[in-house]
Amino acid sequence: MAHLTKERLEKDLRGMIAEILEVEPGTIDGDAGFVKDLGMDSMMALEILAGIEKKYRIVVPEDTLPKFTTLNKTVEIVLNIMINSMNDKFST
């Protein structure tokens, strides 16, 4: 996971979300609403959450899931969790 950039994270998450939604990655706009615009249901959201936790070896608090409303917001949240996780590792 060394040298993970915001752009790379966005590309990876776009691919993961596209696979679960069964659409082409290029059709997912960063500000498109997962539920309203892309038709995501709660099971798909949980699958994305599990994929993020597994791929990036992070724990996403359950109360954070409702904040995953667009690709851009998801990227921002995951980056913040990763940064906080790294800070916690180095501060102990």
pTM summary value: 0.88
Domains with residue ranges and CATH for the chain: 6-91 (1.10.1200.10)
pLDDT per residue as tens, the chain (92 positions): 457 899 999 999 999 999 999 999 999 999 999 999 999 999 999 999 999 999 999 999 989 989 999 999 999 999 999 988 877 666 65
Q: Which amino acid is at 34?
A: F
Cβ proximity of 58 and 78 under 8 Å: yes
Cβ proximity of 74 and 20 under 8 Å: no
Cβ proximity of 45 and 65 under 8 Å: yes
| CA 35 to each of CA 15, 43, 61, 72, 80: distance values in angstroms, whole numbers, following the listed order | 17, 11, 20, 14, 23
Neighbours of 80 (CB within 10 A): 11
